[in-house]
Amino acid sequence: MARYALRRLLIAIPTLLAISFIIFALLDLAPSDPTANLPLTIPPEVREKIRLSLGLGEPFVVRYFKWLEQFMINEPLNVLEQWTGWTIGDSENRLRVLSWATRSPVTDLIVERLPQTLWVVGMSYVIAVLIAVPIGVISAYRQYSLFDQIGTFISMLGFSIPTFFTGLLLIVIFSVWLGWLPSIYDTTHVVRDWDSFVFQVKQMLMPTMVLALANASQISRFMRASMLDNLNQDYVRTARAKGLRERVVVLVHVLRNSLIPVVTVIALGVPTIFGGAIITEQIFRVNGIGQLLIIGIEGADIPLVQTLTFIFAILIVVFNLIADLIYGMLDPRIRYD
Amino acid sequence: MTPLRRLLVASVACAAMTATAAQAQRGADGQLNIIYWQAPSTMNPFLSGGTKEVEASSMVIEPLASYDNDGNIVPRLAVELPTVENGGVSADLTSITWKLKPGVKWSDGSDFTAEDAVFTWKYCTAPDGGCAQSSYFEGVANMEAVDPLTLKITFAEPKPFPYTALVGAESPIIQKKQFENCMGAKAPECTQQNFNPIGTGPFVVKEFRANDVITLEANPNYREADKPRFQTVLFKGGGDAASAARSVLETGEFDYAWNLQIEPEVLERMEGAGKGKLVSAFATSVERILINFTNPDPALGPDARSVYKDDGSNAHPILNDIRVRKALSLAIDRPLLNDLGYGKTGRPVCNVLPGPDIYASTANDACLVQDIEAAKALLDEAGWAPGSDGVRVKDGRRLSLLYQTSTNSVRQSFQSLIKQWWAEIGVETELRNISASVFFGGDPASPDTFQKFYADVEMYTNNFSGVDPEAYMADWRCDAIPGPATQWQGSNINRYCNPDYDALSKKMASTAALADRAELAKAMNDMLMQDYVLLPLIHRSGTSAHSVTLAGVKMNDWDSELWNIADWHRAK
Amino acid sequence: MTDASLAAQGMTAHRSLWGDVWRQFRAHRGAMVGSAVFLFIVLGVTVGPYIHTVDPQYLNMRARNAGISWDHPFGTDNVGRDMLAQVMAGGRVSLAVGFAAMGVSIVIGALVGVLAGYIRRLDGPLMRLTDLFLALPILPLLLVILLLFRDTLRTLFGPEAGIFLLIVFVIGITSWMQTARIVRGEVLALKEREFVLAAKSIGTRGHRIITRHLLPNVLSPIMVSATIGIANAIITESALSFLGLGFPPDFPTWGRLLFDGKDFMTLTPERVIWPGLAISLTVLSVNFIGDGLRDALDPRIRGR
């Protein structure tokens, strides 16, 4: 298993390089332009100068390798310096990946935004998994019972109604009509005491719930389907025939085998936590990674989008590997060699 | 009133205003919450020329003079407005001398001097800096600090309207000491400076989170001891216009929301909740339909499609006929469009130059009345006969147009409605909407930019900053036509070319007397309108909302909306 | 369903496989209700416009933001378009996009998943390909695809059919990865199971094993992916229209109607209720049909 993991990690390097090149080419080909958001009162000559100052005058390949150097060498060195306090080489003049719109280092922006994204999106994901797995198990075990029917109905609503609608509906009900919850997330809020903690919970409540509903709906459907498949397998009959208690049969034998497809769904979902929830973050003004990405895309901020999507790609590769390793643990028959 | 007198009166009024508010105390009114649904990405307006960055930074850094809510120039860091009469502007119009207010301090406590102003000019015109506001310094040959409180700007040639450099929120003065090492190519690397500029304005940045939130506090060294009235400002960004409006008008979480282009009935309903008020101000923004004078046929290939040819060989096969253009205009019911998309926040308009008042023509107001029958008659006369499916045909060509605009719900409603009216007169319309980041982007490789104009008509809003329309009216000169040779750069998007128009434009550039300039500008406007080069639709206002507990807001569309934030206070 | 009725069915002589499946499907109450609702929706959007003959694009400026009335059973929007006509017209597009895109995504997903899971040599390359697609930012991808192909498709198929093909392709090509990963995971486990080993040992060829033994056993996650896929496609399409990358503005779709109506939620709630209901009911009914199909196709349940 360890050898398998190591080999996969080694293959990941060329894979990621290829991905980074394709993303860069894609962003470069895309027709959006960094000066598009500027007012039309700024004349075309000035726009051209702005473009040149962003380095757009250089050929595509040069820009790609510059980014690669900045991201792969300069940024890690910078992180190392900050952690250890050492000075390695000419750190004053080392160019970091700079966003075009803000003209500030992209990694600083990401670090600034991670807390709210992890809190809101991460929390919603944890809640979603915690709700979805039991619901899926019970729904499958008591297929077509009232519980199952209601669960099915709610989860269908959950993924057929887009978050831009549920979010707005919650705001109208809880912020406008009832006035209980804030509609705008305060990213500068610091939790110091009980009251500020309560405020934090209040402002997280709506975005977390909107996302949790959408995620839980999907996961519970996969869980239910997978449980149903396994409940009718021969080994379940064997286990029951051996006189194992029903709890053990369901929770140990069936659940373990049913988790395989669900693990994929959950593992694939984890990178999206870091990717943020673009629409939900916009609606509640959580302004995390998702909002950073969409602003970058709208403003054709290539270094920002390139870096974000590349980090995203790394996470996807890593979590896919983790999912594969978990398959092996859940089902010893799956062998990697 | 002559413009000069207006300026003087305004500066007196400004001085009077400061006197009356004297009993209040700095910082007494606590926190002010502002929401801009597009979040500022930097506090340095020279690095990003977006409206959101300019307005956010206007709380911190200031120009020598700015525009008030009536479009008058009022001094800010200058003692008075230099004119030819008071000797501030040289008789040959080649230099202007500003006297700076004495005793003005930067927020770090050091003195504000003319050196800082000179530095700002050098900073913005440094090569490789990509300064977004360099057009404000166009024609400036030199700037010098005669003494710490006197700034002399020399122009390369006579400048009839000398109030561009360092006037208005787009070209404020930054501190020399802070930005000295951030010139040219170094500019983007000075993140700390760009996010936390030291200024002379009423507020100082405490924390700047790009594209998210800015926290500011009162500038302890602000030149008026009793201002600003708020101790802190929370400047939040993100979301969309409707939710920003909701947070002021319905939930009351915020005090001020910017740029609320939302369907009028939705806004009205929100305002009905009674927690806030809408304010709007009109400047020069006009939503218009542009007519393509060249042939955008995809079959033509990149060197001829929508490319202007001197010999007229590439003229638009349908729209080159003025009768068709006029018919298209006649079929539009502008007041109804306004009711539908703008309500109180816009007015139907028949001029491409709607203001300031002295420039506004009244010669074209007949366009406000829709006249379908007259439009049909014109098309009949032009030889377009109705075909079997209702679409007109002439010489085997269908009267069919491609109508493009950027993606925006109001624009899409306008497209549908205009398509319906045009269908009534026998014109078939294909609609296309393009993401704003592509449409307004200048990427020469993209076929969908407004400059390339690969369509028959297109719709968007344009305006000019400040109050002088000379540069704006020069947009329609023959030499400004975009094409492959200029990488599609050029402001004459219509590809309209008329030597008479060019002559008027040249004449305006060398005319100094304001009344004569106004006559020329009106004549140019009328020429464009009566040639149906573009069809103006709506004079758009800047529209914002403020909480009923906030007082002192004077909505301004000529300059930053936050131009008088030092005077804002809690309503008692 | 009761055991007795199933036993009774078991008595009848000689039946075909599909007859069996159909009988089992009919016995599934949820599936029958789902089918009925789905049929109703399909009929509504196809036949409906011949009964309610208002032009969905006609802007009636005298009846803006109108409530429910005889002329406008679902009310009108803020430019006076009839909501019922728009929901019906939008349904055709949304259903077509939803199913076509789901189809593309399921076919690619299942194919990649089965091949990667079953043929070890292909596992690495195919999964890296999946990683690549997962990492691609969808919006720039769309912009590029539109830039490259829009004009060609427009001249080949006309503006509407061209953009339809493009949208189906884009949504399909960017949503198959989850299905592929899930199917692969299942196949990895299945191919070590006794019945597959048994089939192999008697010399069954690879494609027979895949079609006879593997595919039927991964059907249920595929069904779930398919239902979620339809909902996703309908909603993604609305996001695309919103960003100016979708259908022309005078071309209603359910997602678009819901999006345009959201700001009018408190003013004219009909504008969000009807399209929202239409999307939910479609997804719900497809899900129940999927449930019924899966049960009907599962020999273990069928024989029970």
Q: Which tens digit of pLDDT belongs to each residue from A163-183?
A: 888 888 898 899 888 889 998
Residue B441 identity: G
| Residue that has been written with the tokens 């915020």 in this structure | B254
Cα(B217)–Cα(A165) distance, rounded to whole angstroms?
36
**Residue B20 — pLDDT band, cuts 50, 70, 90?**
very low
pLDDT of B368 > 90? The answer is: yes
Indicate the number of domains in chain A: 2
Domain final residue, candidates A18, A51, A84: A84
Q: Is A278 a member of any domain?
A: yes
pLDDT, residue C286, reads 84
Q: Do the chains contact at B246 and A183, CB–CB below 8 Å?
A: yes
Q: Is C293 a member of any domain?
A: yes
Residue B383: which of B467, B300, B321 has the closest Cα?
B321
Is the Cβ–Cβ distance between A139 and A154 less than 8 Å?
Answer: no
Indicate the number of domains in chain C: 1
Let me know whether A114 and A226 are in one domain: yes
Residue B255: which of B417, B492, B34 has the closest Cα?
B34
Q: Do the chains contact at C249 and B269, CB–CB below 8 Å?
A: no
Let me know whether A184 and A325 are in one domain: yes
| DSSP letter assigned to residue A172 | I
CA atoms within 13 A on the CB side of A236: 20
Mean pLDDT of chain A: 85
Q: Is C67 a member of any domain?
A: no
Residue B490: which of B352, B308, B310 has the closest Cα?
B308
Q: Do the chains contact at A184 and B212, CB–CB below 8 Å?
A: no
Q: Do the chains contact at A165 and C262, CB–CB below 8 Å?
A: yes
pLDDT of B15 > 50? The answer is: no
Mean pLDDT of chain B: 89
Query: Residue B407, SS3?
Result: coil
**H or E element, residue B103:** none
> Which CATH number fits the domain that encloses residue C86?
1.10.3720.10
CA atoms within 13 A on the CB side of B46: 34
Q: Is C66 a member of any domain?
A: no
Partner residue opposite B442 with nearest CB, options A35, A113, A175: A35
Let me know whether A311 and A215 are in one domain: yes
The pTM of the full predicted model, rounded to 2 decimals, is: 0.85
Q: Which of B87-91, C75-79, C114-118 has the lowest mean pLDDT?
A: C75-79
First to last CA, chain A: 8
Q: Is A74 a member of any domain?
A: yes
Let me know whether A54 and A127 are in one domain: no
- Chain C stretch 232-291, residues whose beta carbon is closer than 8 A to a beta carbon of chain A: 232, 234-235, 238-239, 255, 258-259, 262, 265-266, 272, 276, 279-280, 282-284, 287-288
Cα(B491)–Cα(B481) distance, rounded to whole angstroms?
6
Query: Residue B203, SS3?
Result: strand
Cα(B116)–Cα(B119) distance, rounded to whole angstroms?
5
pLDDT, residue C301, reads 58
How would you write A221-232 as a 3-class SS string? Answer: HHHHHHHHHHHC
pLDDT of B18 > 50? The answer is: no
Q: Is C249 a member of any domain?
A: yes
Neighbours of chain B (3+ CB pairs under 8 A): A, C
Q: Is C179 a member of any domain?
A: yes
Q: Is A20 a member of any domain?
A: yes
pLDDT, residue C242, reads 67
C-alpha distances (whole Å) from B42 to each of A104, A189, B195, B559 are 9, 21, 6, 19
Cα(B512)–Cα(A167) distance, rounded to whole angstroms?
57
Is the Cβ–Cβ distance between C59 and B420 less than 8 Å?
Answer: yes
Q: Is A98 a member of any domain?
A: no
For residue B475, give the chain A residue with the closest CA: A43
pLDDT of B21 > 60? The answer is: no
Let me know whether A270 and A131 are in one domain: yes
Q: Is C272 a member of any domain?
A: yes
Residue C123: which of B311, A11, B436 has the closest Cα?
A11
Partner residue opposite A312 with nearest CB, options C135, C144, C262: C135
Let me know whether A62 and A150 are in one domain: no
Q: Strand B203-209 vs strand B150-155: parallel, antiparallel, or unpaired?
A: unpaired
pLDDT, residue C15, reads 64
Q: Quick one: tokens of B114? A: 């003319």
Least Cα separation, residue A268 to chain C (angstroms): 8
Q: Do the chains contact at C182 and A144, CB–CB below 8 Å?
A: no
The pLDDT tens digits of the residues spanning B405-450 come to: 988 888 988 999 999 999 999 999 999 888 887 888 777 778 888 9
User: Which DSSP string do the residues of B118-184 spell out, in sequence order?
Assistant: HHHHHHHHSTTS--TTGGGGTTEEEEEEEETTEEEEEESS--SS---TTBSTTS----HHHHTT--G
Is the Cβ–Cβ distance between B449 and B443 less than 8 Å?
Answer: yes
Q: Strand B276-291 vs strand B534-547: parallel, antiparallel, or unpaired?
A: antiparallel
Let me know whether A8 and A68 are in one domain: yes
Domain range for A207: 106-330
| Residue that has been written with the tokens 């930097």 in this structure | B42
Q: Is C263 a member of any domain?
A: yes
Looking at this predicted complex, what is its ipTM? 0.84
Residues 6+ apart with CB under 8 A from C36: none
For residue B411, give the chain C residue with the closest CA: C249
The pLDDT tens digits of the residues spanning B135-181 come to: 899 889 999 999 999 999 999 988 888 998 999 999 999 999 999 99
Q: Which of C141, C240, C250 to mutate to test the interface with B (most CBs of B within 10 A)?
A: C250
Domain final residue, candidates A84, A117, A145: A84
**Residue C1 — pLDDT band, cuts 50, 70, 90?**
very low
Residues 6+ apart with CB under 8 A from B248: B35, B254, B255, B256, B257, B275, B276, B545, B546, B547
Instruction: Give me the sign of the Cα torsion angle A75, A77, A79, A81.
Output: negative
Low-confidence ranges of chain A (pLDDT < 50): none
Q: Is C12 a member of any domain?
A: no
Domain range for C191: 18-50+82-297
Q: Phi/psi at B153 (nearest 5 deg)?
A: -110, 125
Let me know whether A79 and A113 are in one domain: no
Q: Which of C181, C225, C285 to mutate to test the interface with A (most CBs of A within 10 A)?
A: C181
How would you write B26-63 as a 3-class SS string? Answer: CCCCCEEEEEECCCCCCCCCCCCCCHHHHHHHCCCCCC
List of chain B residues whose C-beta atoms are within 8 Å of the C-beta of residue A47: 442, 489
Cα(C61)–Cα(C82) distance, rounded to whole angstroms?
11
- Percent of chain A predicted with pLDDT > 90: 10
Using a CB–CB cutoff of 8 Å, tell me whether B386 touches chain A: no
Q: Phi/psi at B100 (nearest 5 deg)?
A: -90, 150
Q: Quick one: tokens of C220? A: 């249920």
